[in-house]
A and B are shown apart, each in its own frame.
Chain A
């Protein structure tokens, strides 16, 4: 049995294509059923987000399966196949497993480590369970994917550093102040970015918000929104010493705050550090201020730089995650290999034959029987085993061609405690999908 992935993502398709083949989350029953109805496909999941659309399936005939899935995507969305084909990728077997594990661990995301994708895949799997289009293999596989994603999240620092400018500001503040719970932030001007960053600070427990604006009414409105205090623009410099964090984004053509003033404020603060974020262009704060001890001045470019550094750090962590995934692929592959019919029958027979021989040996050594009796006992036991195995064997052989055959194979392996064949042995006759 082969796992297949057919789809496209932000890496292979522009948004114009992605939006055309996205599936509506409110109507997943129909496409899932249509997909399952394809004759080469035995299980189906559809993942559809704004960055990717992917079909996960199992098939005994990967060649046909891939082709049918590709055409299904085009036909369902009534697009010319050729338009779609150049953006589609297809993965089979081990590659498909690796791909899905990487996607759910957020290694394939536009921003590595972003947390939404796992939730989106869980939702997709939820639909498949609801409409019963996921079977033994995909059920097991998706749970594997979730647990691997969780492992990656806890064992690597892939999601630990901010990758948006406003979040980067909060993280920098934590590197300076440690605790934000007793700190005050002052907003100078009311740009959109400034507001967003202020919201992040408030969500992270900042104690007080001061707002100043040339238009006092605007300052009052924003202050009310943040549960803070409005300060007139004429007076804000006198209150500046109360602020541990300053967010500035006025539209002023010149500097709103000069280095000299900041030096005075720092003295007034008895050298308690100040984190000043200047999001305005042209800048509001005289850049020279960054030379003052205990002043940490960041402009937009600096914050972008922090984000870049954080992304680099995430990529480093991604390497660790890849190693975890390779390990897990091997494990899952091993389980998948057990779902082949022929090796299952062979090992079932072996197991019973061993049992039979052991018991015959024991009986004969106690019995002191002559040759003839021994032969009859041997033949008798052999016949019993054959009779018992007849029906299960033929059901297993039929299972090879039916969609729910895997359930029988898995059951037999569990009931008789059959050992899994070594997946890392290339000569193993039971490589998944090798029969077709």
Chain B
């Protein structure tokens, strides 16, 4: 087993443990477990960070050039952003969702091909790590908004229909979920905007054109519009609650397609094929 595989397994176990503990915390209402879960998550994230640094030194560039690395990096962004949010806004209720999503992403990363292709000269630019980091941090923020949105819809439905399942007692208040949604959006949107801007600037420096309508760019722009609409609605028309939750869910659907669908189904310069090797 290489160091990489061992680290990968340690990270996966950390996230898995956090997921289980968070779930028990939610179901059994044991708050102490949430604390341990947070540490487990933090431990996993630190190990993963060390892994990135090792890889960066080994290959000499930001290690997000294949699907395996990208998924792993996006899991890390998700966990890191969640930990940051948790520190500021105390949202351990989102812990079960976040850590489960991180586990799934890591599993995906585990089965994705790992071959590291020789780096094409295009990627050897300072724009590359910036562009990718903004993208993945943005994904992570929107994933949190998505999670809060789903919880909001569930809680809203129970409060409206007046049929309460056990979940009602465990979900946080509508206000809390709505403000998580808003905060995630207020971080995610600027990140995504920066991602698109850095992408365009980079494209200009390599190909001499800012925008070439490749499928990823088109989908990213669409997604950006969805979130722009949501942010605008929130700030100027007073959208909130259910509608904001639904938008966050739709937006995340677009985002998933932009991230995975485009790479796996459509062709373009953002795919992971050997020549381009660009996420």
Q: Give A contacts to B, CB under 8 Å.
A: 157, 160-161, 172, 174-179, 270-273, 290, 293-294, 296, 298, 302, 305-306, 309, 313
Contacts and interface: CB of A to CB of B under 8 A. Distances in A.
Contacts of B159: 172, 175-176, 296
27 contacts: A157-B169, A161-B169, A172-B159, A174-B173, A175-B168, A175-B174, A176-B159, A176-B174, A176-B175, A177-B173, A178-B175, A178-B176, A270-B237, A270-B238, A270-B240, A271-B243, A272-B238, A272-B240, A273-B174, A293-B243, A294-B240, A298-B162, A305-B162, A306-B164, A309-B164, A309-B168, A313-B166
Q: Which 7 pairs of residues, A with B, have the shortest CB-CB distance?
A: A270-B238, A178-B173, A178-B175, A309-B164, A271-B238, A178-B176, A302-B162
A293 B176 contact: no
A175 B155 contact: yes
B172 interface: yes
Given A273-B241, A296-B159, 10 more contacts: A178-B175, A270-B238, A271-B238, A273-B175, A290-B160, A293-B243, A294-B242, A305-B162, A309-B164, A313-B169
Contacts of A290: 160
B239 A271 contact: yes
B9 interface: no
A309 B168 CA distance: 10
B114 interface: no
A271 B239 CA distance: 7
B232 interface: no
B29 interface: yes
Interface size class of B (residues with CB under 8 A): 20 to 34
A164 B174 CA distance: 22
Interface of B is mostly: helix
A176 B173 contact: yes
Nearest to B241: A294
A161 B170 CA distance: 12
Contacts of B243: 271, 293
Nearest to B240: A271
Nearest to A176: B174
A160 B176 CA distance: 20
Contacts of B168: 175, 309
Interface string B130-166: 0000000000000000000000000100011010101
Contacts of A271: 238-241, 243
Interface string B219-246: 0000000000000000001111111000
Nearest to A267: B238
B247 to A, nearest CB: 13
A157 B29 contact: yes
Nearest to A270: B238
Given A175-B174, A176-B173, A177-B175, A293 B166 contact: no
A178 B180 CA distance: 13
A62 B149 CA distance: 63
A425 to B, nearest CB: 33
B53 to A, nearest CB: 40
Contacts of B175: 176-179, 273
Contacts of A306: 162, 164
A271 B241 CA distance: 8
Interface in B191-244: 237-243
Interface string B242-263: 1100000000000000000000
Contacts of B174: 175-178, 273
A271 B240 CA distance: 7
A239 to B, nearest CB: 19
A294 B175 CA distance: 11
A164 to B, nearest CB: 16
Contacts of A294: 240-242
B153 to A, nearest CB: 12
Nearest to B159: A296
Given A176-B175, A313-B166, A313-B169, A296 B160 contact: yes
Q: Which of A160, A272, A273 has the largest number of chain B CB atoms within 10 A?
A: A273
A177 B240 CA distance: 13
A270 to B, nearest CB: 3
Contacts of B166: 313
